[in-house]
Amino acid sequence: GSLRASGEYSDLIITCGSEHFKVHKAIVCTRSGFFACALRFPGKESQENKIDLPEDEPHIIELMLQYIYEGDYGPLCGHVQNPSPPSNASPKSFFPHTCDYVPAGKVYCDEGRLCPHHDCTFNCGRGSFSCRNFICRKCHPTRDTPGSFLIHSKMYEVGERYDVFQLKELARKRFEIACRLHWSEPHFFEAAYFVFTATPENDVGLRDIVCSTICDHLSLTNETAFEELKEDVEGLGYALFQHLMKRGQEGGWLSK
């Protein structure tokens, strides 16, 4: 982080708008296929040791470079020092339970909150579930904010476009958590529009999360913003229909 901030011993400049980022080839080229290819062959970039990204937002490029150097991005995410326990007001049912197998079929316990890396099981002998009703400090994303939807979706997109090692997966996970926490915020529709207009149709990493969030909270379809989204985004209605059909088949209330 300090090496990136100071620019000491840098041998490459990345420009974006009015911003100039002094970086190190040995770092950015090993984490990004785009930068590696740009400098591998003779050309303006390799001769001048300068790469211009005129179409991008400087803030997003800065976050991308932060991830390349530190494996994380932004003040809205990351590890929290001395985190406080989650309050009782925290939204429930963020993550799926693991107690989903009972001889009679899929049955879930009625415990509200459970982290994805904690197990909950069905005790056959006692005929009851042994689950813990909590979200631990490790999993509770206290630093994420309602406005983070769009940041995570843009980080996902640049991760694909600049072939940044594992950035897409991190951004996808952060986007999913943001949707679970802040689905009722107006920023959700703004991010949904970006997802369906800036990512390829065959890249469903974020598209599936948007559809799942809307299907989980059908009250969103009553919003004016949803109607505007449906009009502006070609294929959204069909994507939602497919998502509902898949749920119906998996849940057994629609025949395959």
What does the pLDDT read at residue 104?
A: 45
Q: pLDDT of the chain along its 256 residues, tens only?
A: 577 878 788 999 999 999 999 999 999 999 999 999 999 988 899 999 999 999 999 999 999 999 999 998 986 543 333 333 333 334 334 455 555 444 444 444 554 455 555 666 555 555 555 555 455 545 554 456 667 899 999 999 999 999 999 999 999 999 998 898 889 998 999 999 999 999 999 999 999 999 999 999 999 999 999 999 999 998 898 899 988 888 776 765 655 5
For the chain, first and last CA: distance in Å? 52
Contacts of 16 (CB under 8 A, 6+ apart): 52, 53, 54, 56, 57, 58, 61
Task: Domain 1-69: give its CATH code.
Answer: 3.30.710.10
Q: What is the largest CA-CA distance in the chain?
A: 72
12-16 and 19-23 strand pairing: antiparallel
Model pTM greater than 0.75?
Answer: no
In angstroms, the CA 98 to CA 112 distance is: 13
CB 54 within 8 Å of CB 16: yes
In angstroms, the CA 148 to CA 39 distance is: 33
DSSP letter (8 states) at residue 105: B
CB 95 within 8 Å of CB 131: no
The residue ranges of every structural domain in the chain are: 1-69, 72-78+143-256, 88-139
What does the pLDDT read at residue 246?
A: 83
Contacts of 119 (CB under 8 A, 6+ apart): 98
What does the pLDDT read at residue 127?
A: 54
> 202-231 burial, b for 16+ CB within 10 Å, e for fewer?
eeebbbbbbbbbbeeeeebeeeeebeebee
Phi and psi dihedrals of 124, rounded to 5? -65, -35
Let me know the angle formed at the C-alpha of 168 by 246 and 186, rounded to the nearest 5 degrees: 70
Contacts of 253 (CB under 8 A, 6+ apart): none
Phi and psi dihedrals of 105, rounded to 5? 135, -165
